[in-house]
Structure 1
Amino acid sequence: MSLTILHPIWGRDIGQYYGSYTFLAFKQELHSNIISATQRANFVPMNKGMHAIRIICQIGKEENEIKINSMARDVSLQILRDALDMSWYKLLLKFLAEPEIIRGCIKLMGTVIPDGESSASPFSYEYGYLCFRIATISFGLCLVENSLDSAFKAAVLDLRSGRLHPLEVVAEVIADSVKRIVQSSPTIKNGHKMDERALMVPTRDVTKLMNLIWDNRDLFIRVVSHTYTPGMVGLMYIFWQLWRISRCRESSDGDQRLGAPLYELLRRYNLGVTSDQDVALSSLLSDTRFLRDTWLGHSELTDAKDSKALMHGYIHRISTSDTWHYKPHIFSIAPILEFVIRFAQPGAQNVFPLLFSATTRFLWSEIEGKQQIAENDIPGIISILHCFLKLFEILPDAAHCAMQNLIHDIVNSDLVGLIARLIVLRRPTTDKSDNERGMNSLIRKKPPGS
């Protein structure tokens, strides 16, 4: 068992804390707490939670940086947990629907500056992640507060039995609201003026939060891949609103300053989006797709560590058996792989074989037992194979070991057999000769042990 090292103020580091905030851990905690929650009055967590909320709100109202840093010393991990515990009770959720909580959490995130760093790195420690989690939940509650009563009534039996957490209900309402608003919004080109009140907190605070995440996008990808943060698509929606507001201002460089980072953050989030948030995220991705060229012109490759995190996130995405992360399809996984491969670089080559093997296994699982490939899967398959070629191009000449491992994986995964199978499946069954049908039965399944 690895030794857990705690920071005296900020608690566990990212490698240790995210296991406590997975969706599985979220559901296990719900089941273990459901009995005690029904046997005691709400006043105990409410008293502690209200005290925590008051402290966080006071920081949210403060503008002096020196005072904020001083006040932050009184906000412990336990206080953050007390505030988060309010989300266990649907009747107490309304107390988290407070803009000053959001502002306070953003300012607290800015105080997490690890030793040797010159800027904030909130996701490095549990403290910063809890601030982010609370702010995200609070944003979502502020967004849909008026729609929750009917949603809770519809889910009353599942809530009472412990099959659903109140935040799961909230997350679904958030996703539905975001999807509806984005799909019905006027196009960005018609000059429609945006209402800044949609941000719920001052523009400078939303901008600060977006910048914090952007500056720490290498850790953000680890957070979205390995933790469950309820209703995160609501936060992405707020960033989308921020970008649209900036774009409507005269002489604005919103597409470069906010649009390109938004484009990338949405695609990073796509590696860990949960099934209830996926359609809403797709709406945001569709609305921002024209930002691709701007992003390509202004995005920068980060270090090899971030490249590895992206590839591991992708591997986790297509390999996980957790049903909450819906099973991806060929047509949906291709753009994710293209995004990840763009950041692949020398120094991360040890992960290339893992990515290759996971993708090949995924393709085998998608075509096994099928008589014909769906027409809309063909461009995705071509794109995936093109990404494989890019991996070889990126490998440095000196990376002999990585090249050997990659070739070894190609042999073991029977890539040649996979391609042959894809060629056979490409043609309609009625057009195949008897020989082709016989060959089809021979290569219907991947070889044993591959």
Structure 2
Amino acid sequence: MNNLVPSYWGRPLEHYLSDYMLWGAVTVDSLMSSDNLTMIDEFRDNIDRVSAIASGDPDMSNQVSVSTLRSLHRMPYKPETYVHMANPPLISGCIKLMASIRGSGKPSPFSYELGYLSFRLVEICLGACLLDNHRVLAFKTRSPLCKPNLVPPVVEELSTHAGGGGRESYNCVLGWSFCPDHATADYPLIISLSDTRLLMELLYSDRKLFLEAMRATHAIAGNLSALVFLFWRYVNYQRLLQGQLLSKKLRIPMLEIFYRCWVVSSTDQHAAFSHMYLCDKDQWPPWNELLHKVDPEDSRELVRAFTGHFVAANKFTFSDPITVSVLDIPNALYFLAYRIVPESEDLVGAFVETMIQRLWCAIADREESNELLIDSISTSLVWLRTILQQFHNTWETNTMPLSNIVLAMVNSELLPLVGRAMLLLEPFQSLDRQTPDLVKRSKIMAASRLLFEGISQVVPRDFLEMAFLHTLPVYWQVSRQMEFMSLVVFPEDIYPRRVRRGFYTVCVEIWNALCHSIADSQSRQGQGGVCANPRCPSPWDSGRNGVCVFALLGNILLYASMSSNHD
């Protein structure tokens, strides 16, 4: 360790992280054999020691060691001790400890073990304080249900109460200001505005190491949604106190912290994140404010984190909760798109593949209505094109990364995904291309066409045709399906046959255009004579313009299935 670094700061990040990957399990085992009374007395002594730093005594920080903080991390695992974590002075003391740790000449709490443990305690204590101030019965009575997993639903409830226009003062549970419903309520102050601002600045300035540390140590019992709730309310409240100017200055730090927390948070916290994001959309910066210098190592860490998050989402079973809502994907891409730099392009292929697979899962399991699914897929394709645009005119110098990105799209069946999404569309009542109905519903058509045009602009034509060659039967399948759908009418269909035929004519036009971006018409026609139905007894004999009876039967069965589920 550097001789200039105080020994009580503990180990540097590259040495301490591995010890906390399984910290939660080890902590629970150690608690099972601990004496409650002795343990609580020890906890109280350590809480007092850290809390004393909040009073401003500079000498007290030297008396808080890593072992002191490690002992406090055992408290959330038992109701008898977890309730003692609802301690505002403990939060303030930990924030001041974080601010005292410096790396490379600036505050860097995650550079050393003491700063990391201090942050984790802030996170845990904040959740406990919210449970206490919200008067959660299990917390107040110290029941066996008194655990940190009570925090996410409470944060979701609080964000629903406080979110929306005109509610900047709805900070009752934090003790800052009060809404009309709680004007006479007595809520203790959890954390001061100055400490909140300091904590926000610390996390933003050390955001690279913050993400690295959080990714590696999921086992610690914390609640990042509670932390994001704190900052979300702070930015809203500053809008009321200081006006829009200060609020705008906080938008980028807020966004950076929000998504770094989201991408490493547990499943049960996602609903709370979504509520906070959707309640105050005007709080988030427009895309042109996101164009700032990105650290290459931070970019790589972000791409890895988002890829890992989507990989976990693609492995869920019907008995597991969904880890990433399909509705959250466009928002995540909005954050990530401008943080991809040339130094991280070799990781983009894996990310693109897992993201497209996640969209496939959403369609296969009908996670949302067709309209919401199509909107999410469309917006995701728009952001995917934005990512690709950053590699324009770089094929000669970035051949391998770009080829991997295109092959990832092929392997994850991007073309079939677009075709499937287009077949989810309801026919338009009007074929006037300027009507709002057509503009809204045709978003998937415009987004997919622009994406495939974008793909054709970053890689050579011959490579593109070769890469997508084995997917070209999909072109024929989707075209035939659209032709079939234009000829049939559901028993209670509200759309006249004229409308249905006109709609699918537009679909075929768009489908032909986007497929032309990746293969010429001769290649597509050559593939069109091959029946891809695995039960077809003679897949090569259907003829270029003929219709295989097995393919037609498949269409009829699909139509019957859709008709039975048709509203």
So what's the TM-score if we normalise by structure 2? 0.64
Partner of 1:438: 551
Alignment-mate amino acid for residue 117 of structure 2: L
Can you list the C-alpha shifts for 1:345-397, whole angstroms capped at 9, x where unaligned?
22222222222233344445555698x99332222223333333333322375
* Match among 256, 262, 276 for residue 264 of structure 1: 256
Separation in structure 1 between the aligned mates of residue 249 and residue 163 of structure 2, nearest angstrom:
22
Partner of 2:211: 221
The reply to whether residue 380 of structure 1 matches residue 376 of structure 2 is yes
Separation in structure 2 between the aligned mates of residue 338 and residue 436 of structure 1, nearest angstrom:
45
| Greater relative CO (CA pairs within 8 A, separation 6+) | 1
* Match among 21, 25, 30 for residue 28 of structure 1: 25
Partner of 2:148: 170
Give the superposition deviation at 1:10.
Answer: 3.2
Alignment-mate amino acid for residue 109 of structure 2: P
CA change 1:421–1:257 in 2 (3 A) is closer
CA change 1:253–1:400 in 2 (3 A) is same
Equivalent residues of 1:105, 1:131 under 8 A apart? yes
Separation in structure 2 between the aligned mates of residue 378 and residue 58 of structure 1, nearest angstrom:
55
Alignment-mate amino acid for residue 377 of structure 1: L
Please list every run of 5 or more consecutive structure 2 residues that lacks an aligned counterpart in the other structure: 177-188, 425-480, 488-546, 556-567
The reply to whether residue 422 of structure 1 matches residue 413 of structure 2 is no
Partner of 2:10: 11
Give the superposition deviation at 1:417.
Answer: 4.5
Q: Which runs of 4+ in 1 moved over 6 A?
A: 152-155, 322-325, 432-437, 439-442
Give the superposition deviation at 1:220.
Answer: 2.5
Give the superposition deviation at 1:83.
Answer: 1.8
Give the superposition deviation at 1:256.
Answer: 1.8
Give the superposition deviation at 1:290.
Answer: 0.7
Can you list the C-alpha shifts for 1:52-93, whole angstroms capped at 9, x where unaligned?
11110111111xxxx52x432221110111122222321122
Moved more, 402-411 or 122-131: 402-411
Q: Percent identity?
A: 20
Separation in structure 2 between the aligned mates of residue 113 and residue 425 of structure 1, nearest angstrom:
51
Equivalent residues of 2:75, 2:85 under 8 A apart? yes
Alignment-mate amino acid for residue 119 of structure 1: K
Partner of 1:92: 81
Partner of 1:118: 105
Q: Secondary structure at the match of 1:301?
A: coil
> What aligned pairs does 1:301-340 form with structure 2 within 5 A after superposition?
301-320=293-312, 321=315, 326-340=322-336
Equivalent residues of 1:346, 1:396 under 8 A apart? no
* Match among 221, 226, 241 for residue 234 of structure 1: 226
Partner of 2:175: 197
Partner of 1:389: 385
Separation in structure 1 between the aligned mates of residue 200 and residue 70 of structure 2, nearest angstrom:
23
Partner of 1:58: 52
CA change 1:27–1:71 in 2 (3 A) is closer
Q: Secondary structure at the match of 2:310?
A: helix
Size of the aligned set, in residue pairs, is: 413
Give the superposition deviation at 1:205.
Answer: 1.0
Alignment-mate amino acid for residue 32 of structure 1: D
Equivalent residues of 1:113, 1:120 under 8 A apart? yes
Can you list the C-alpha shifts for 1:275-322, whole angstroms capped at 9, x where unaligned?
221212211111231123467437633211121111111001011258
Partner of 1:404: 400
Tell me the C-alpha RMSD between the 2 structures: 3.6
Can you list the C-alpha shifts for 1:80-138, whole angstroms capped at 9, x where unaligned?
11122222321122322111101110000012212xx1211112232211101111111
So what's the TM-score if we normalise by structure 1? 0.79
Equivalent residues of 1:263, 1:295 under 8 A apart? no
Partner of 1:447: none
Equivalent residues of 2:162, 2:171 under 8 A apart? no
Separation in structure 2 between the aligned mates of residue 351 and residue 378 of structure 1, nearest angstrom:
27
CA change 1:56–1:379 in 2 (3 A) is same
Partner of 2:270: 278
Equivalent residues of 2:263, 2:309 under 8 A apart? yes
Separation in structure 2 between the aligned mates of residue 81 and residue 175 of structure 1, nearest angstrom:
24
Please list every run of 5 or more consecutive structure 1 residues that lacks an aligned counterpart in the other structure: 1-5, 160-165, 443-450
Separation in structure 2 between the aligned mates of residue 437 and residue 217 of structure 1, nearest angstrom:
57
Equivalent residues of 2:169, 2:237 under 8 A apart? no
Separation in structure 2 between the aligned mates of residue 27 and residue 84 of structure 1, nearest angstrom:
9
Equivalent residues of 1:221, 1:309 under 8 A apart? yes
Alignment-mate amino acid for residue 222 of structure 2: P
Q: Secondary structure at the match of 2:342?
A: coil
- Structure whose CA Rg is larger: 2
Q: Secondary structure at the match of 2:9?
A: coil
CA change 1:272–1:54 in 2 (3 A) is same
Moved more, 425-434 or 224-233: 425-434
Equivalent residues of 1:49, 1:84 under 8 A apart? no
Can you list the C-alpha shifts for 1:208-229, whole angstroms capped at 9, x where unaligned?
0011011112223334434335
Moved more, 315-324 or 207-216: 315-324
Give the superposition deviation at 1:402.
Answer: 3.9
Q: Secondary structure at the match of 2:63?
A: coil
The reply to whether residue 351 of structure 1 matches residue 347 of structure 2 is yes
Give the superposition deviation at 1:251.
Answer: 4.8
Partner of 1:247: 239
